């Protein structure tokens, strides 16, 4: 728009990767992969390495309602994040390599420059 690229800096890579790529945040992809809160209690299908990343049952219901539920504008937070992820050219992530060493999973998920 003003000769600048659309870039995003995310502080928490684990959360960025856990919610998934744009195609799973909107439309039929979201309905297929995250149809119920229970789907948040197991590692997502796009995490191809052994992981325990998941929400506890008591947190999954609130997260699902808040993130995938429509607000007063008729849009979900997941749709907003999905559109943001589709529109960016690069994704900057600030994290701790000792804590979250596998940065390649985010590159595979988003197909964006990290």
Q: For residue range 67-107, list pLDDT tens digits in order.
A: 999 999 999 999 998 888 787 777 666 666 655 556 566 66
Residue 16 inside a domain? The answer is: yes
Residue 15 inside a domain? The answer is: yes
Greater pLDDT, 58 or 17: 58
Enter the pTM of the model.
0.73
Q: How confident is the model at residue 59 (pLDDT cuts 50, 70, 90)?
A: very high
**Which residues span the domain enclosing 82?**
7-110
Residue 72 inside a domain? The answer is: yes
Residue 2 inside a domain? The answer is: no
Mean pLDDT for the chain overall? 78
Residue 27 inside a domain? The answer is: yes
Tally of domains within the chain: 1
Q: How confident is the model at residue 110 (pLDDT cuts 50, 70, 90)?
A: low
Q: Which of 2, 15, 16 is nearest to 112 (CA)?
A: 16
Residue 1 inside a domain? The answer is: no
The pLDDT score that the predictor gives to residue 46 is: 81
Residue 92 inside a domain? The answer is: yes
Pair 17, 47: CB distance under 8 Å: yes
């Amino acid at each position: 728009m003003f000769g600048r690229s659309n870039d995003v800096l995310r502080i928490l890579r684990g959360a960025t990767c856990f919610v998934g790529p744009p195609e799973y945040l909107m439309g039929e992809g979201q309905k297929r992969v995250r149809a119920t809160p229970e789907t948040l209690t197991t590692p997502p299908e796009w995490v191809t390495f052994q992981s325990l990343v998941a929400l506890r049952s008591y947190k999954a219901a609130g997260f699902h309602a808040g993130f995938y539920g429509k607000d007063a504008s008729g849009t979900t937070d997941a749709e907003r994040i999905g559109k943001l992820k589709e529109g960016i050219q690069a994704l900057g992530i600030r994290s701790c390599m000792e804590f979250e060493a596998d940065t390649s999973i985010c590159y595979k998920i988003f197909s964006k420059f990290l």
